[in-house]
Structure 1
Amino acid sequence: MNAPRLALIGTGGHGRTHVEKGLRLHEEGRVQLVAVADPVPPAADALPAGVARFTDGAELIAAGGFDVVVICTPINTHFDFASAALEAGADVMLEKPTTATLDEFERLLAIAERTGGLVQVGFQSLGSEALDIIRARVAEGDIGEVVRYSATGAWVRNEAYYARSAWAGRRTLDGRVVADGALTNPLAHATATALALAGATRLEDVKSLELDLWRANDIEADDTSVAVFDLEGDVRLTTAVTLAASLQKDPYVEVVGTNGALRLWYTKDDIELLDANGFVLETQHTGRRDLIENLLAAREGAEALFSPLAGTGAFMRLVEGVMQAPAPRLVAEGSARVVDDEAGHHLVIDGVEEELERALRLESTFVELDSPFTRVR
């Protein structure tokens, strides 16, 4: 086969989606799936004949024989696997967040530039057709002059979520930065998508960053936080997120103008046009391109990457900021309650959804708003 030889590192959890894509692309003749690696790799009879199976990604890379590597592993391993794959001459699809530290990001960027390898970072929402549509409508003046950008998500995460792996809910593990947390991992797409809409994706596009990190759960990382970015062009982006909501809600990003707003429900690729009072005037559903397919097209020179390594620099400012900030503070006593429902055993911060909306509207942190759960004695 002349198709690119594909290897997958990390096939459990979210990695299962990459296995499904890899098998589909193999069956279509667009790639040749040649190797997989995971502590518990897929059974041989679940893979095409001849696919090599490894229990460690380093062993797979050392064995060679691939052109494209998909990496879906714990955050603290991203740099090691991605840099080794690039040095081996491969192009890389790397799950988000890009790396655990800004230093690792800059080193990986230098390696990619030296080797000429392509690196696509797994912010799936950046493959949405909605981004170009919203950019065009903003340029056409549909919402007037841009006032601000917003990103938010209110999710429910139970005890099992934090118990699923050793690194879940951790800032560090075994002396290495993990950088898990609401802002940097589960709801990372919110900020990354808003930065892309703002055209502020490079390291230098972030002028300053203010963080307000909180936790209701017994974890190291944040589960309820605000990030306020000052961006080039004198605009701001406010991200307000929680994993301690009362109900799971779809996350969205928004471009707010003087005459209205354009809102993207980025997990569904749905766009809403809102008037100045927040009433929905029209809706539009759009399509989305797969990031691995886009990487394959980029290898042929047919397309530009949707989520290139260098284009995650602004997001890496957030990751670095979170890790340089003091550890998240525990919410005020009595402000969170335990709930047992269909979502499992989880904590809810009372009124947090309203505080998220206030933070976005006023471009402020929870502390600046004197949110009830910040009133720690």
Structure 2
Amino acid sequence: MAVVGIHGHGASHVRNVTRLPGAELVAVADPQGGGDLPAGVQVYAALDELLAGTEVDVVVICTPIQTHVPLAELAMRAGADVLLEKPPTASLDEFQQLTAVVGETGRALQVGFQAQASEATLTLAKLIADGEFGELRGISATGKWVRTARYFQRARWSGRRRLDGIDVVDGAVTNPLAHATAAALLLDGSTGVDDIRSIETELYRANPIESDDTSSVRITTSRGTPILIAVTLCATEHLEASVIVHGSKGRAVLTYQSDLIGTTKYGRADLLENLLAHRADPAVPLYVPLEATGGFTRVVEAVRTAPDPTVIPPDLIRWEGDGLDRRPILHDVEKWIDRASDELALFSEIRAPWVTPATRG
């Protein structure tokens, strides 16, 4: 096995590979060089050099969003199966390109939406399908997170919509809180490209970045379910994200980071172990094959093609910290996120204070 991108979150992939019985980490690729690696692991600056110098069966890719497609294609055309971090692509065109490569090569590609392998998510999806909550009024996802200047300065692509003329589509909806949207789509059984009827986006930012840090998005699925996403990286305190099911017979709250439905704890499968099991026996299905991220990619495409985020008025923001610890706190953002979630409404529809008359339509 090989890991591409071993610093930051990539370090967790290195640890995961080395713990697996029967798997050997033979090489890594990263332009920053190697880190704390087991003895004998070869270090390369780039994936093409790695593939030319080492034979590998599986490649784990944890690199900037805009590099996902070329690196995954390179690995699969070299005969390797791939675990690709989310979001898999920065556009719908890239998604279709990568889908074609999977078909041409016959290689397995698993996308790193860990919540899709959670028994909590899968159990709740079955309860919804079985009618346990009655008629489904909708699904909402909320994220009240904190990110400091350090987060946006960790890499050139962070907080960017485009970089050097290439789509990146970083932002609260598409990257840090992407799992919330993906989990909501899975609960509705609407994970495919053709499972989405429409998407409405409202993107805002308090930070001096290109991408959104506070947004509401409403997806209407082909089955007619409204899925309302309301998220921020400018909360007072960092809380776990939630996905809420609204039914005529009740509601349920999925805390996907902790694998909880309400207060009931569930287990979670490991996506890399699942990929290896699928390699050994193709009858074992992947938890997150590329086609199961088509609905999410439609959301990425909607964010990509939306107008640039609206700047939030400075009088609504309180700044805390200095230097790389500096961060904005958006006044009462938690209250407005909860209201958007309860009403399945966009920020403009509930007249959130940072919505200007121009963006209300």
Q: Normalization by structure 1: what TM-score?
A: 0.91
3-state SS of 1:220 partner:
coil
Measure, in 2, the Cα distance between the counterparts of 1:312 and 1:125: 13
Counterpart contact for 1:94–1:120, Cα < 8 Å:
yes
The Cα offsets for residues 65-118 of structure 1, whole Å up to 9 and x where unpaired, read as 111100000001001100111111111000000111111110000010111011
Measure, in 2, the Cα distance between the counterparts of 1:103 and 1:81: 16
- How far apart are 1:376 and its partner, in Å? 6.3
Match of 2:2 in 1: 7
Match of 1:206 in 2: 196
2:2 is equivalent to residue 21 of structure 1: no
2:346 is equivalent to residue 365 of structure 1: yes
Letter in structure 2 aligned against 1:48: A
- How far apart are 1:61 and its partner, in Å? 2.8
Task: Quickly say closer, same or farther: Cα 1:122–1:41, change in 2 above 3 A.
Answer: same
Structure 2 residues without counterparts, runs of 5 or longer? none
- Counterparts of 1:204-353 in structure 2 under 5 Å? 204-272=194-262, 283-301=263-281, 302-340=283-321, 344-353=325-334
Match of 2:23 in 1: 31
The Cα offsets for residues 151-190 of structure 1, whole Å up to 9 and x where unpaired, read as 1111010111111111110001111111100000000000
Measure, in 2, the Cα distance between the counterparts of 1:117 and 1:173: 30
Measure, in 2, the Cα distance between the counterparts of 1:211 and 1:46: 43
Measure, in 2, the Cα distance between the counterparts of 1:227 and 1:270: 24
Q: Which residue, out of 156, 166, 190, partners 1:166?
A: 156
Match of 1:177 in 2: 167
- How far apart are 1:64 and its partner, in Å? 4.7
Counterpart contact for 1:64–1:88, Cα < 8 Å:
no
Structure 1 residues without counterparts, runs of 5 or longer? 1-5, 273-282
Counterpart contact for 2:30–2:44, Cα < 8 Å:
yes
- How far apart are 1:24 and its partner, in Å? 1.1
The Cα offsets for residues 309-350 of structure 1, whole Å up to 9 and x where unpaired, read as 011000001111111010000012311110239x93210110
3-state SS of 1:359 partner:
helix
Counterpart contact for 1:332–1:374, Cα < 8 Å:
no
3-state SS of 1:148 partner:
strand
Letter in structure 2 aligned against 1:304: P
Task: Quickly say closer, same or farther: Cα 1:141–1:204, change in 2 above 3 A.
Answer: closer
- Counterparts of 1:56-205 in structure 2 under 5 Å? 56-205=46-195
Counterpart contact for 2:121–2:256, Cα < 8 Å:
no
Identity fraction in percent: 45
Measure, in 2, the Cα distance between the counterparts of 1:182 and 1:56: 28
Counterpart contact for 1:203–1:314, Cα < 8 Å:
yes
Measure, in 2, the Cα distance between the counterparts of 1:206 and 1:150: 16
Counterpart contact for 1:152–1:356, Cα < 8 Å:
yes
Counterpart contact for 1:95–1:123, Cα < 8 Å:
yes
Counterpart contact for 2:76–2:105, Cα < 8 Å:
yes
3-state SS of 1:117 partner:
coil
- How far apart are 1:46 and its partner, in Å? 2.9
Counterpart contact for 2:121–2:259, Cα < 8 Å:
no
Counterpart contact for 2:77–2:105, Cα < 8 Å:
yes
Counterpart contact for 2:31–2:46, Cα < 8 Å:
yes
Measure, in 2, the Cα distance between the counterparts of 1:78 and 1:243: 24
The Cα offsets for residues 21-79 of structure 1, whole Å up to 9 and x where unpaired, read as 11112xx2x21221111123335x73232x22101123213335111100000001001
Letter in structure 2 aligned against 1:294: N
- How far apart are 1:204 and its partner, in Å? 0.4
